[in-house]
Amino acid sequence: MIDTALTTRPLTARFGVEIQGVDLRDVSAGHGFDAIRAAFEQHSALLFRDQTFEPEHHLALAKLFGPIEDRKADERKPGEAFEIPQVSNRTEDGSVSAEMDLHTLNLKANQLWHTDGTFLPAPALANIITARVVTSSGGETELAGTRAAWADMPESLKTRARDALIWHRYSHSRARISEELAKLPMFHKWPDQQWRALWRNPVTGEDAVYVASHAFKVEGLPEAEGAQLIDELIAFCTRPEYVYTHEWRVGDVLIWDERATLHRGRPWPYAEERTLSSICVTATASDGLSAMRPQA
């Protein structure tokens, strides 16, 4: 049963809620989604436990939020179907990739605080992610609420960030883990992207810091000064009081607002499989995207 008055439990004092008593298989545009979308706008992160969430349910829910992000559209043959991306150390032959393999190093790059798709011409609005295989320990996902952080940020730092334009590049975050990893073609598909450092939610009118490990320079600032501002913004937004640590259970579905959160994975025993299914939804003009582009 889905009611507009959702039953919720706070994930932290500052952002995020667990929504209880909802079977996501029952959600549709005319049944329950409006309440979920409203909660998404208000709380930035939504957790649903104990879901039976098959790929068809995953895809259907994502489409309610908006266009599906498809980073491999240029790689598929005509007529080949979209496959839900897997965040996994399991390889095509069924084995688990070694800790220092490039495949695993790419997963380790996700342990840097980041926002999905800031390097794309149209970045992500949301990530809808569910656990398929969890490890005996570790492997948590951490979220940091950048809206709450902005509200608390000292004016001295706000002044430097308020009108900042930040450049993003996919290979930049990968180079922080491995120069060899950063050279792979998959990290050079898109030209550098420039976004404002604050994303205003058009529904609530609130600002949130918009930054990522993919950020490599600030327009108009010397390289070192720009890097320092990026580092300071990430450091402030990821203070413990703004962070939620999620310990995965199979059947969990976690949805977060990419406009108002940073996230990262945590280490796990790399000899064990860890598999999450993840669909990103692309932001559109109605999500505030147009205002994020620098004025020509």
pLDDT in tens, 188-209: 999 999 999 999 999 999 999 9
pLDDT confidence bin for 4, thresholds 50/70/90: low
* Crossing angle (nearest 10°) for helices 55-65 and 33-43: 70
pTM of the model: 0.96
pLDDT of residue 2: 43
- The mean pLDDT value of the chain amounts to 96
Q: Is 2 part of a structural domain of the chain?
A: no
- Percent of the chain that is helix, strand, coil (3-state, to 5): 30, 25, 45
What span, in angstroms and rounded, lies between the C-alpha atoms of 265 and 260?
17
CATH number, domain of 240, equals: 3.60.130.10
Whether 52 maps to a domain, the answer reads yes
Report the distance separating Cα 283 and Cα 69, nearest Å: 9
Q: How many domains does the chain have?
A: 1
Residues composing the chain: 296
| 261: three-class secondary structure by DSSP | strand
Query: What pLDDT digit, counting tens, does each position of 64-123 carry?
Result: 999 999 999 998 888 899 999 999 999 999 999 999 999 999 999 999 999 999 999 999
Does residue 30 sit within a domain?
A: yes
Q: Rounded to the nearest 10 degrees, how much is the dihedral formed by the CA atoms of 211, 213, 214, 215?
A: 50
Decide if 1 is inside a domain: no
Residue 193 placed within a domain: yes
- Could you tell me if residue 163 is inside a domain? yes
| 248: pLDDT strictly greater than 80 | yes
Reply yes or no on whether the pLDDT at 230 is more than 70.
Answer: yes
Mean pLDDT confidence for 208-216: 98
In a domain, 211, yes or no: yes
Boundaries of domain holding 213 = 7-292
